[in-house]
Amino acid sequence: MRIATWNVNSITSRLPRVLEWLESAQPDVVALQELKCTSDAFPHLPIQALGYEAVAHGNGRWNGVAILSRVGLSDVVLDLTDQPPYDGVVETRAVGATCGGVRVWSVYVPNGRELGHDHYSYKLQWLAAMRATVGAELAADPLLPLAIIGDYNVAPTDADVWDISLFAESTHVTPAERDAVTALQSIGLSEVLPRALKGAPYTFWDYRNGAFHRGWGMRIDLVYGNAPFVSRARDTWIDREARKGKGASDHAPVVIDLDDATAPA
């Protein structure tokens, strides 16, 4: 089974690239983030034409998440349990579904904006709610392969940004954010690390200043799974080719290939 996560930075703007990638990469399950469209406006028909069911969760703002699957899609959950609001709105940043015997959560963690900002506190609260939500699912069915995949907006280590000295006063690399991600280990999750073909394994490059071509990137699109998921992971890789060319997202897909061992029903 091939599972992928991709922040598409607007499904409407990126649809031709997404459809092309689905046909070439042939993933079985795809978690999308930053749809920037409402659930009703999600382009179901062209995606269904390629053999995928889809659940989309978006409110038309800058967030929005989805899961595409050609191996079944059931037990859908929208939002986290006790998900904190921001400015009175529970943002569309999380959706979970079971696909082909694997539980998948597509998450778009809040950016945090800047230290001291209300959005930074919100980000930490959101990460705590994510851990609690998934922890409850793991406790209820510990044998079911489960992964939380998506744009975490956190670089786990200094090596995951192109120049850590430039991030001294920035979000994404603070101890509190990193600790919140590391705390996923306390509920039985571990990171499935990517093996880049060459160079640093970044997943995001700003559109400005030629960042992609200069290698000015960050690794913020992450895959955390429980032991039944991690034990089936054969390979994990970043599709940098999808970041190239006209109309690309500023993120590259992260792809996880699982072996074909029989998963719990």
Q: Which residues contact 69 (CB under 8 A, 6 or more apart)?
A: 28, 29, 30, 52, 53, 54, 97, 99, 100
Domains recognised in the chain with CATH numbers: 2-258 (3.60.10.10)
Report the alpha-carbon distance of residue 52 to residue 68 in Å, rounded: 6
Instruction: Write the DSSP string, 56-104.
Output: EE-BSSS--EEEEESS--EEEEES-TTPPPBTTB--S-EEEEEETTEEE
**Which bin fits 168, alpha (ψ -120 to 50), beta or left (φ > 0)?**
alpha
Burial bucket for residue 94 (CB in 10 Å: 0-12, 13-18, 19+)? buried
Q: Letter for the amino acid at 230?
A: V
Instruction: Write the DSSP string, 12-38.
Output: HHHHHHHHHHHHHH--SEEEEE---SB
Report the alpha-carbon distance of residue 119 to residue 124 in Å, rounded: 9
pLDDT tens-place values along the chain, 265 residues long:
999 999 999 999 999 999 999 999 999 999 999 999 999 999 999 999 999 999 999 998 889 999 999 999 999 999 999 999 999 999 999 999 999 999 999 999 999 999 999 999 999 999 999 999 999 999 999 999 999 999 999 999 999 999 999 998 899 999 999 999 999 999 999 999 876 555 668 999 999 999 999 999 999 999 999 999 999 999 999 999 999 999 999 999 999 999 986 544 4
Its pTM surpasses 0.85? yes
Contact status, residue 6 vs residue 33, Cβ threshold 8 Å = yes
- Tell me how long the chain is: 265
